[in-house]
Structure 1
Amino acid sequence: ETIMRTLPVFQDAVVSGEPMPQSLPPGNVAELRSSPPLRGSLEQLVRLAPAGVPLQDTELAVHTNPEAGLERLVPLVDYLAAWKLLPNVSAWVLRTVERGYRIQFGAPPPPFNGVFPTVVSPEQGLVMEQEVATLLRKEAIEVVPPHDRESGFYSRYFIVPKKDGGLRPILDLRVLNRSVMKLKFKMLTLKQVVSQIRSEDWFVTIDLKDAYFHVSILPQHRKFLRFAFRGEAYQYRVLPFGLALSPRTFTKCVDAALAPLRLRGIRILNYIDDWLILAQSEQVAAQHRDVVLAHMKELGLRLNAKKSVLSPLQRTTYLGVVWDSTTMQARLSPARIESILTAVTRVKEGQSLTVKQFQRLLGLMAAASNVVPFGLLYMRPLQWWLRTKGFSPRGNPFRMIKVTRRCLRALDMWKKPWFLSQGPVLGAPCRRVTLATDASLTGWGAVMSGHPARGLWSGRHLTWHINCLEMLAVFRALKHFLPDLIGHHVLVRTDNTAVVYYINHQGGLHSRPLYKLAHQILVWSQGKLLSLRAVHVPGHLNMGADVLSRQGPRPGEWMLHPEVVKQIWRVFGQAQVDLFATQENAQCPH
């Protein structure tokens, strides 16, 4: 589940070099500051819940059957009446719940390709047998009738190692995904979580059992989700892991389910099957937990009590990040840090790694960069080195690339635990100091709170590309106004889109000189500024900095038109003394 859910995201991050809109699944909570987390029976819930909190709804939601993980899946259509009561629920969601998901093909579905069996080693065969038996017991798959086997589309399973040393079967749907529509949708990002947490918040984390399996597949489309193993053919009855649109489909259904809770003022964030409830007091968090669990029960959404942390805490792990509302700090979980350190330290000079192995390494870095403040900045050196080696995420994944000393230097920062242990300050910035900058081929200009600054280019700067001059203008302006900027969140307003991109994305891969300048600025800002962001403004809205960059009149040298001055003097009498006048703007006769 974890691999198929995150692999496409890792690949996108490698291609674009940007942080992922999502993170790895959460680990266990460590070093909790409150009562022990609840992971189990109803009796524990009764014992740990704050006094006065109603539990009748919670009783309906918590599994007390120790074999609940293997029980038959109850289709959501059995709860259709409750889904129809949701506010503003879309016809698509109701149709999906009632009839099953119709795979959204963007091209004709692949034709029948034969009944290709999954062939594995004896050890892997035992794992596959257990997987098939579990899926049959849950009724997530069904046996294909003999008369219908010579149709549809068959995919193979492959086996991958798990972190705990076991093996995990994954259905390879890459060929089928080529025919599926590429539909965009918004998922929860770690930046959103950072902005949503308030000081002294209490957290409850909820994990859904068999998340995608909640959504049935339209019977006519199950034939495209077939596989064969040891003489038998099977097809999925529910949404499988590995289908490109599974995350979108499930998230749209969950968003509809959570809509009434949010309308009631319950703060709840959802990323696939991982949910986070936030509240300003322990009692309110417990009350909202009970409301959410009862709501889940009404809609047929199954709780994974073992992986949920139902007792309210002020320090919890969610999406692989430790969140602490008392210190208002976020950090990668110890498991995530250990995973990165292990992967990086395995890279040795002189050895050769495949493109796929480098993709995995970049994926780990991109995921961590959502939390580590300058993670992307220190991922760029590895990306630039790989470019010199002809690296392409879309190329042959098994092509070998030899590790050099420069590659190891690019990984230096990622080997330091203190670097990986850094994290952002939680909460949305209450105020940003705004700085407007601009550059021309002759000079630079900036304005902050009505105060101007400017300068001329000289020497080698006169030959620089305008994008680099615009970035240098930002650096000069930040240094000039540093006494007023230190210890603040800073927002740079510029009419240059390249500058905006390279600051906000901590560099880039299109211009090495621009990347080096962005690197200098961001490294310099560490310890001085709380954060540095840039926003694009049209040139006509950035006139102050623009005029200064072109070395127009200084603000002190502006003057009224002489005819206007004469009219004023005719009414009020002629002035005798010019205050703050220079030779260029003097109005009084000498």
Structure 2
Amino acid sequence: MDPEEAVPDVGRALCGLASRMEAYESQQVRIGQVLDSILSRLPATPAVAEIPPAVVVPLPAMSPAREPRIPPPPRYSGNPQACRGFVTQCQIQFEFQPSQFSCERAKVGYVMSRLEGKPLEWATSLWESQSPLSFDVKEFLQMFRTIFDAPGRVATASSRLLQIRQASEYAIDFRTLMAETSWNEEAYKAVFYQGLSSRLKDDLVSRDLPDSLEDLIALAIKVDTRLKEHQADKERSKKSHPALALRFQNPMIPPSSPQFTTSPSEEPMQLGKARLSAQEKLRRRLSGLCLYCGGQSHLAVSCPVKLGNTPASSKTVVSFAGSIVPKSVEQSHKFHVPVQIRLSSQAIPVSAFLDSGAAGNFMDLAFAKKVGISLFPVAPPIRVFAIDDRPLSTDTITLTTGELSVQIGALHLEKMSFLIISCPSSPVVLGLPWLRLHNPSIDWSSGQISRWSQYCQRHCLIPQPLQRVTVSSTSFSAVPSVYRDFSDVFCKKSAEFLPPHRPYDCPIDLLPGTMPPRGRTYPLSPAETAAMKEYISENLQRGFIRPSTSPAGAGFFFVKKKGGGLRPCIDYRGLNKITVKNRYPLPLISELFDQLKGAKIFSKLDLRGTYNLIRIREGDEWKTAFNTRDGHYEYLVMPFGLCNAPAVFQEFVNDIFRDLLGKSVVVYLDDILIFSQDLETHRSQVKEALSRLRENFLFAKLEKCTFEVPKISFLGYIISSRGFEMDPAKVSAIQKWPLPQSTKAIQRFIGFANYYRQFIKGFSSRIAPILSLIRKGGRPNCWPPVALEAFQSLKDAFISASVLRHPEPHLPFFIEVDASDVGAGAILSQRHSADGKLHPCAYFSKKFSSAEQNYDIGNRELLAVKLALEEWRHLREHLIRSRSILIIRT
């Protein structure tokens, strides 16, 4: 603004201020007059002795309390585990240093100043767009935690409560995790007691346990402290009475040399080699002896004893232990294990030498070339020495294998690579790194590996019990000769071992604040009791279940099979009700069949064990616990009855065959169909499918598999190059179906019929009278004539159902629609050149709602056209691509 233009405005403002000052002064005058008049009316007061003036002692000036200095929180870059602590540190800044933040936006700006990476990018977009979140720090931090905090924190804390074990920090960890969960005190007590070590439980069993959780924690800490003190007293007692030091003669030292006892100053594993005194050092130097071992003809720097005791891990080259015994004795003491090296089309058996002196895993060059293993160069080459620094015959390693699948024993599998050397006596050598990683327990009397380490239990297949699976050639005579190399995939015993943990383990995530209920124990008949004991014994031996101390427990009972046997069932309804659902979809059967057009040869594989081929996610096993009158057990494999079991298994098999789905393979849970146009291609595709089953430790039921046929039964349908039709066995079942006399029986018939509804013209209109029997007011045991007629009409329609052809995109499509008073129906057909007739591809029907039934006939016909086009909308892309014709008839 121009200064000259601003002068009038300033003048007016000064005039206003002057008038206000005059008003204030006049008010003060009036107030003084009123006070004088009040004082004049008051009575006179008697004189009082003059009080000496008080001595005023000036107090030191008190400055306002200073805010504590709090260091700023470290910068947050997006780690979910650090999110909660970062937000808490920011809130502490706001609470104890309020003067630093004049408004809510200033607090948001401070939080942003401590961000970096993706969190900063997210916050910057809110700041620049003037989002309401940037003006409210509470809402900002709430959204911040929603995005960046670790998901499932409560569920994770609940899981960790069941995993933490014994230590002085146990109570601290337990209380920390309690703050993030919302169980009741009884559940906390049960889980806390379960987590105590066996030693503590043994001590507590003789005591009266407190009623409250806090008293139980205090008692456990007290007992644990005393047990540790007792152990420390024992160790101090041992040190105060040391054992006599061992003495022995070193053959490298002359008899005249003094002997030395062991002491803490010795080098590791060098018994009898104490530090030399000054006199001994001088004597050895004058005599020309080694200062390390006392031997002649060499110095300490090249002492073979010293070099032989240097750990292999300190060298930068690969080393082997040298032989110090006669060769005949050495061979008899070597420990070999049978292994299988799995290539794409075969499993090669070989004996592997376990060598604790080898600094790596090695394979013989001639063996690798013989079996056709691909080799790759090593850059730079690796020098090879014996343990005493002598170069071996192959002094450098220049080749290595790729990553190979190696199976040891029955089901221990891992992927590993080998360095290539010339070692004909041992084609495969597993060295010290492998032994340290897997740490196998060896039964030296039988020469077998008896147990694997915890690492193997998590990452490799666990044989329980360890045994060799032998495959008899006569057992698999039904396998075509071209697939005999995959006979192990059809081995029944192989499916009876505990599978390994995989990324597809079945998780059981619970809704926040919930606990699996404890179900009832069902009474069993004598026959059921015998079946239960047999079931428990078999699955304990296989390793599928184990004894449990879980606070959860579902009911265990039996239902009768159609063949007369007993099927074990576990009531997981309570667990399923509080489980977070996995919505992975199952395939649409109609879409599966659309992918089979043009196929002429089919093979089917039926998996053995199905859900038992999947492990329960580690840490979730306790949630599957079930009760029997003989004990409390929990599953290590996925049992039947879990709500997420079908979705987990479908995702697993879909990922195995991901690149083959729709091209040569269709998969529905444990049923696998392989289809091809010619025999040669088909055989290579079946081998590929079997190879993938082998690699993922899945096994097939040979008795339910079919190979290389032009017509095959799959999911209740008969599939051929012509199309698909109902299975004759199912048609026969419908033909013999008795008249249902209860609601459950009617529902079973409707469910069975609905599965094949695409074969029946006008299915919805036909079944409407039967549906009315099970609705409110219906009488399922009293069939009116219209319902009896509908029942017989449906049975006749199923018996006379035609074959549905596979849609051919290059041929014209015909849609015939019709509408009645109660529903709509449509037929999708194509005219084939072979006979010039229309052949149905699919049927569609739908019952009208009560409102739709009020439409006039024209609108009902139009609605039928709309519904038919929506049903077969997936064919639109084929029509556009092939420029085919669609004809609609009403």
TM-score (norm 1): 0.57
* 2:606 equivalent among 188, 202, 207: 207
Aligned partner of 1:487 in structure 2 is 838
Is 1:534 equivalent to 2:869 in the alignment?
yes
Is contact 2:479-2:487 (8 Å) kept?
Answer: no
User: In the alignment, which residue of structure 2 is the partner of 1:323?
Assistant: 719
- 1:435–1:340 CA distance, 2 compared to 1 (3 A): closer
Per the alignment, residue 513 of structure 1 pairs with 853
| Cα distance in structure 2, aligned partners of 1:106 and 1:515 | 46
Specify whether residues 430 and 124 from structure 1 end up closer, same or farther in structure 2 by C-alpha distance, changes over 3 A only: farther
Check the 8 A contact 2:517/2:554 in 1, yes or no.
Answer: no
| Paired residues for 1:228-243 under 5 Å | 228-243=627-642
Letter in 1 for 2:489: A
Asked if residue 245 in structure 1 is aligned to residue 644 in structure 2, the reply is yes
Q: Is the 8 A contact 1:191 1:370 kept in 2?
A: no
- Counting only pairs closer than 5 Å after superposition, residues 320-469 of structure 1 correspond to structure 2 as 320-325=716-721, 328-342=722-736, 344-347=737-740, 352-353=741-742, 355-372=743-760, 374-387=762-775, 389=777, 402-416=782-796, 419=799, 421-428=801-808, 430-433=810-813
- Residues 45-81 of structure 1 show CA distances to partners (whole Å, capped at 9, x for unaligned) of 788647xx5754x244232x6x556x2232244xxxx
Evaluate the alpha carbon distance shift between residue 369 and residue 291 of structure 1 in structure 2; reply closer, same or farther with a 3 A threshold. Answer: same
Q: Counterpart of 2:804 in structure 1: which amino acid?
A: P
Q: Does the residue aligned with 2:753 lie in a helix, a strand or coil?
A: helix
- Once residues 370 and 433 of structure 1 are traced to their aligned partners in structure 2, the CA distance between those partners, rounded to angstroms, is 17
Match of 1:184 among 575, 583, 586: 583
Report deviation, 1:212: 1.0
Q: Does 1:304 align with 2:668?
A: no
Aligned partners of 1:216, 1:75: CA distance in 2, in Å? 7
**Shift of residue 121, structure 1, vs aligned partner:** 1.9
Query: Is contact 1:201–1:278 with CA below 8 Å preserved after alignment?
Result: yes
Per-residue CA distance 1:517-558 (angstroms, 9 max, x = gap): 79x979x99xxxxxx932399xxxxxxxxxxxxxxxxxxxxx
1:225-253 alpha-carbon deviations (Å, 9 max, x no partner)? 12111221111111111111110011111
> Tell me, what secondary structure is at the counterpart of 2:688?
helix
- Give the counterpart letter for 2:507 in structure 1: R
Cα offset, 1:163, TM superposition: 2.3
Q: Which residue type is aligned with residue 61 of structure 1?
A: V
Q: Secondary structure at the match of 2:702?
A: coil
Q: Distance in 1 between matches of 2:814 and 2:716?
A: 33
CA pair 54-243 structure 1, distance change in 2 beyond 3 A: closer
Indicate the residue corresponding to 1:140 in structure 2. Answer: 544
Q: Does 1:126 align with 2:535?
A: no
Distance apart, 1:511 and its partner CA:
4.9
Give CA-to-partner distance per residue, 1:460-481, whole Å, 9 cap, x none: xxxxxxx999x99x99xxxxxx
Letter in 1 for 2:510: F
Query: Counterpart of 2:692 in 1: which secondary structure?
Result: helix
Q: Which amino acid aligns with 1:317?
A: S
CA shift for structure 1 position 423? 3.8
Structure 1 residue 417 displacement after superposition: 7.0
Q: Which amino acid aligns with 1:166?
A: G
The Cα shift of 1:101 comes to: 2.4
Aligned to 2:489: 61
Structure 2 CA distance for aligned equivalents of residues 510 and 373 of structure 1: 22
1:294 correspondence with 2:691: yes
Offset of residue 390 of structure 1: 5.7
**1:216, 1:383 → 2: CA distance?**
42
**Residue 433 of structure 1 contacts residue 490 of structure 1 at CA under 8 Å; is this kept in 2?**
no
Letter in 1 for 2:715: L
**Contact 2:716–2:727 under 8 Å retained in 1:** yes
Q: How many Å separate the matches in 1 of 2:673 and 2:472? A: 20
1:30-41 to structure 2, matched below 5 A, reads none
Q: 2:497 is matched with which residue: 52, 72, 75?
A: 72
- State the AA in 2 paired with 1:288: Q
Cα offsets for 1:421-447 (capped at 9, x unmatched)? 43422245544558899xxxxxxxxxx
CA distances 1:164-195 after superposition (whole Å, capped 9, x unpaired):
23222222212221112344333223212321
Q: Which amino acid aligns with 2:535?
A: E
The residue type paired with residue 218 of structure 1 is R
Structure 2 unmatched runs, 5+: 1-470, 827-835, 873-890
Q: In the alignment, which of 506, 511, 525 is matched to residue 101 of structure 1?
A: 506
Residues 142 and 346 of structure 1: CA distance in aligned 2, closer, same or farther (over 3 Å):
farther
- Check whether the contact 2:518–2:554 (CA below 8 A) recurs between aligned residues: no
Distance 1:358 1:285 in 2: 43
When residues 45 and 117 of structure 1 are mapped into structure 2, their CA distance, relative to the original with a 3 A threshold, is closer
2: CA distance between counterparts of 1:434 and 1:329? 17
Counterpart CA distance in 2 for 1:509 and 1:124 is 48
1:273 equivalent to 2:670? Answer yes
Instruction: Tell me which structure has the larger Cα radius of gyration.
Output: 2
Cα distance in 2 between the residues matched to 1:318 and 1:387 = 34
Tell me what 1:224 maps to. 623
Name the Cα RMSD after superposition: 4.2
Please state how far the C-alpha of 1:298 moved relative to its aligned partner: 0.8
Change (3 A) 1:139 1:378: farther
- Mark the CA change 1:55 to 1:72 in structure 2 (over 3 Å): closer, same or farther: closer
Cα separation, 1, equivalents of 2:681 and 2:735? 39
Deviations 1:317-366 (A, max 9, x none): 111111122xx132222332233344x4242xxxx51x333322221122
SS in 1 for 2:775: helix
Contact 1:431 1:489 in 2 (8 A): no
> Hey, what's the Cα distance between the residues in 1 that align with 2:850 and 2:837?
31
CA distance in structure 2 between the aligned counterparts of 1:169 and 1:430, rounded to whole angstroms:
51
Name the % identity. Answer: 20
Which secondary structure does the structure 2 equivalent of 1:378 belong to?
helix
Quick one: distance in 1 between partners of 2:576 and 2:523? 22
Go from structure 1 to structure 2 and tell me whether the alpha carbon gap of 1:402 and 1:225 turns closer, same or farther (over 3 Å shift).
farther
In structure 1, what is the Cα distance between the partners aligned to 2:855 and 2:773? 13
Shift of 1:211: 1.1
Query: In 1, are the aligned partners of 2:625 and 2:634 still within 8 Å (CA)?
Result: yes
- Distance in structure 2 (CA, Å) of the matches to 1:268 and 1:208: 14
Letter in 2 for 1:286: R
Residue aligned with 2:684, SS: helix
- Contact 1:101 1:217 (8 Å CA) reproduced: yes
AA of the residue aligned to 1:227: F
Aligned mates of 1:356, 1:386 — CA distance in 2: 9
TM superposition shift of 1:278: 0.5
CA separation of 1:185 and 1:369: change in aligned 2, threshold 3 A: farther
**Which structure carries more relative contact order (alpha carbon 8 Å, separation 6+)?**
1
Question: More displaced, 154-163 or 373-382?
Answer: 373-382
Give the superposition deviation at 1:161: 2.5
Counterpart contact for 2:804–2:841, Cα < 8 Å: no
